[in-house]
A and B are shown apart, each in its own frame.
Chain A
Amino acid sequence: MSAAVFAGARPLWAGVRRVDPLGAVLVATGSAALLLLPFVVFKANRIVPGNARALSEVLPAWQTLGCDAALLLAAVAALWIPAARLRLALALVAVGAVALAAGAAGDALTPPGDAVVRIAPGGAFWVLMVCLGLLATDATTRLRPGPGLRVLFLIATLAAAGLAISYGLFDHLSVMREYAVNAARFAREVRQHLKLAFGSLGAALVVGLPLGVLCHRVPALRPGILGTLNVIQTIPAIALFGILMAPLGALAAALPLADRLGIRGIGAAPAVVALFLYSLLPIVANTVAGLKRVSRAAVEAAHGMGMTDWQVLTSVELWLALPVILTGIRVVLVQNIGMVTVAALIGGGGLGAFVFQGIGQTAIDLVLLGAIPIVTLAFSAALTLDALVESLDRVRAEGR
């Protein structure tokens, strides 16, 4: 009898008393950051070290209290609420509150008409964003959304951030100040960044897919081709740029046409060539692995029914290998978006230009102007391609 009562009472007790382990870590980290680190940093100009300001010193009391309340709710959710939807909602509300508070602090600390002072989000802001981001990600994972929903969620998040930025909510924060100065160049570098990342991926597909098919059809070639690509993969990026400078420079000197097309020892050409070479291994290896897992019976039946070799390859083999090949494309795309950053070192342009310029000037805000979009691009590409692979694999999971 007493056992039954105890068992019946259990969900209520368990819900309140059992503390979520991940939630505990996140709450502890967030609280420590809030106590020990500055929320915003005031700098007289973009280079000098700043001094810390707490939220309560900067904002009207009701805004500070609002932000604190949102954080408190998120902490309660993180510790004790097992319902994933509620955790996600409260985490997102807190993300919004922290972002708005930082934006408002920027507005409050900037003297009217001043373009020299810099208000940068401080350590507490970044730690809180990471903790809340992890809380939201964990809640999303527990909800197990389908691939379509995940992409929708990504679009909604990007749209919300974009809307807040274009509305001017963060205009007085340091990164947006750097953006305001570099707006025209920013658009150009984003385009250049994407051009380099997707261009080298495209070239790798044009060469890598046939190479993968060849490796599959002629097993004798496999160790040689994959071994060579493996060796290329181990050369550090900077070294590969250096290795490519000499032959491409010589080519430009010998052929005026190559020079006019932009093929030179420095600039975009060696960057694209290096990224292309790095991209080949994942594409070729995944094409081979994907073709290997195609049902032999399906291929035999396809031949037996009178498909030509080309038809068997394009309408059966490559289709069935597609999820694995897409996984390779995902690896390459995320890898390229990151590595294009280094291309700025040899004059290749892209968002890395801001990063290295910022490092040179010890202007951390300029570094962030390059780094934040790079991380966003890489993350979006990974999430979108993962969703695509999963939606394809769902159809075929049991079909092998």
Chain B
Amino acid sequence: MISVENLSKIYGTTTVVDGVSLAIKRNSITAIVGTSGSGKSTLLRMINRLVEPSSGRVLIDGQDTRAEPAYLLRRRIGYVIQGHGLFPHRTVAENIATVPRLLKWEAPRIAARVRELLEVFQLEPARYADALPHQLSGGEQQRVGVARALAAEPGVLLMDEPFGALDPIIRDKAQEDLLAIQRRFGTTVVVVTHDMEEAFRLADHVAVMSAGKLLQYDRPAVLLRRPADAFVSRLTGLADRAIRLLSLVTAGEAALPGTTDGPTVAASVSLREALSELLWCGAQSARVVDADGAVRGQLTVEAILARGRP
């Protein structure tokens, strides 16, 4: 649980973050979105005190973040930035071992943890452990960056535009991996992004910022159905908000009892993709199946469309 209380940052006469308060639940993913210059990065960086707040405070699990020196606080919080920031003179394994080494873990424990993370991120240890960052592809570098941030099993992971530099296909995979890893380790993730698609895909809660102020902090569906003001509705995509609503629900969640002889869709895909499939096939209903092929129910075009209304 992270609680941000009335947090402000003022540089000279410019107020970059203006009295923001929000409570972030444990084991959730929160996205902070906004246009550039909205203060979203500064807000994130005040959580691990890379930027010291001008006023207000941040509590993590009830403890004020100012209770210990900033560098000790940061060792308990994972941090991922755009362009990964890997150390070019250190191998992949050494990069991942950075925080465990700072925490003076025993060598065997570090080696085991590095190995585990390499496997979790599908980086074969024999091939990647001793490679230098420049020998990796962009997607691999990004995965090492996330693995490095998670090395010391932090309860909180802060990410600043983590996937901004990746091409669409690799970004898609990186987002999928992040969701899987968040479920596996139960980390509380706060991610800054300007990509609404990404925010809706990843986040349980979205915080919309503009000119240093927090405009709305809610579940994605609420943001779409009841935007706090015109700016939020414009940012979240006024024109295709119905379609975006569909992308928040999976076929499995929306499946109705019964079955049909229409096309088959996986339970894990969103209603948006299911609808697209139905349009493509010219069918009125589809069968929803599990990963193991068992039929979970059916979906009709009407039932899908009903989910896209306010």
Which residues in chain A, 286-313, are within 8 Å of chain B measured between CB atoms? Answer: 295, 297-308, 311
A301 to chain B, nearest CB (A): 3
> Are A399 and B84 in contact (CB-based, < 8 A)?
no
> Are A297 and B73 in contact (CB-based, < 8 A)?
no
Name B82's closest neighbour in chain A (CB-CB): A297
Residues of B within 8 A of A307 (CB): 71, 98, 102
State A396–B145 Cα separation when bound (angstroms): 18
> Are A316 and B81 in contact (CB-based, < 8 A)?
no
> Are A297 and B81 in contact (CB-based, < 8 A)?
yes
Which residue of B81, B102, B134 contacts A301 across the interface (Cβ within 8 Å)? B81
State A400–B86 Cα separation when bound (angstroms): 10
Residues of A within 8 A of B84 (CB): 297, 301
State A304–B86 Cα separation when bound (angstroms): 12
State A299–B88 Cα separation when bound (angstroms): 11
**Is A398 at the interface (CB under 8 A from chain B)?**
yes
Which residue of A297, A306, A311, A398 contacts B85 across the interface (Cβ within 8 Å)? A297
State A295–B87 Cα separation when bound (angstroms): 9
Residues of A within 8 A of B76 (CB): 306
Name B69's closest neighbour in chain A (CB-CB): A308
**Is B148 at the interface (CB under 8 A from chain A)?**
yes
Residues of A within 8 A of B89 (CB): 319-320, 395-396, 399
- 0 or 1 for each of A378-400: is its CB under 8 Å from B? (1 = yes): 00000000000000000111111
State A49–B87 Cα separation when bound (angstroms): 65
**Is B72 at the interface (CB under 8 A from chain A)?**
yes
Residues of A within 8 A of B72 (CB): 306
- 0 or 1 for each of B84-104: is its CB under 8 Å from A? (1 = yes): 111111000000001100100
> Are A295 and B88 in contact (CB-based, < 8 A)?
yes
State A302–B149 Cα separation when bound (angstroms): 11
Q: Given contacts A305-B148, A307-B102, are A295 and B85 in contact (CB under 8 A)?
A: yes
Q: Given contacts A305-B102, A306-B71, A306-B74, are A298 and B86 in contact (CB under 8 A)?
A: yes
> Are B88 and A399 in contact (CB-based, < 8 A)?
yes
B130 to chain A, nearest CB (A): 13
> Are A302 and B87 in contact (CB-based, < 8 A)?
yes
CB pairs A–B below 8 angstroms (9 shown): A297-B82, A298-B86, A301-B79, A302-B87, A304-B158, A305-B149, A307-B98, A395-B132, A399-B89
